[in-house]
């Protein structure tokens, strides 16, 4: 596999059939295979055909095989205490493409957008059982806001303004 031939780009509506499949892969990875109730048509409708898209998406594309190997779904949120923010709903890289900086490059693409839009933070939820993912986000300077990072099925994780600026470089 050619890991140097990966391009991060904004998703287009035609990508949603592959993103929907990756959402199902992510759910299976999280041991929740029946959880996704969405299909590519709904993703297209909500993200590309709406006057106010409900989400934005970056994809990782392997140029040598013309296939999508990862995605990041995110959307703007607002903090009444701090102002503009973003929420990372999904970050997924296909198993055979992991550990080659694709996930961090997807995060960096979101961080650049967040930085350019003067966002103060990027928030996400992470299953407690995903200890490798917690290490991944910590390495990128995200802070786990969940008490001691344990004791809940979900962890609340945040990239603060300084981490966003560093990732956006």
Residue whose C-alpha is closest to residue 9's, from 49, 53, 51, 68: 68
Tokens of 146: 């969940």
Question: Which residue among 18, 78, 137, 156 is the active-site one?
Answer: 137
Tokens of 128: 């407690």
Q: Is 74 a catalytic residue?
A: no
H or E element in which residue 110 lies: helix 102-116
Tokens of 52: 């106010």
H or E element in which residue 154 lies: strand 154-160
Half-sphere exposure of 127 (CA within 13 A, CB side): 11
List residues bridging with 68 in a β-sheet.
61
Decide if 137 contacts 101 (C-beta within 8 A): no
What residues act catalytically?
137
């Amino acid at each position: 596999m050619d890991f140097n031939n990966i391009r991060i780009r904004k998703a287009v509506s035609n990508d949603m059939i592959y993103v929907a499949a990756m959402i199902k892969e992510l759910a299976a990875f999280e041991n929740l295979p029946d959880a996704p109730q969405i299909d590519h048509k709904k993703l297209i409708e909500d993200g590309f055909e709406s006057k106010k898209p409900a989400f934005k998406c970056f994809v990782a594309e392997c140029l040598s095989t013309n296939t999508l190997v990862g995605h990041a779904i995110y959307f703007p949120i607002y903090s009444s205490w701090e102002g503009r923010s973003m929420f990372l709903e999904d970050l997924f890289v296909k198993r055979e493409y992991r550990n080659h900086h694709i996930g961090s490059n997807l995060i960096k693409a979101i961080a650049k957008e967040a930085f350019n839009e003067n966002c103060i933070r990027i928030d996400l939820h992470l299953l407690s059982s995903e200890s490798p993912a917690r290490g991944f986000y910590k390495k990128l300077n995200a802070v786990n806001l969940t008490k001691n990072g344990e004791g809940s099925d979900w962890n609340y994780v945040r990239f603060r303004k300084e981490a966003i600026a560093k990732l956006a470089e």
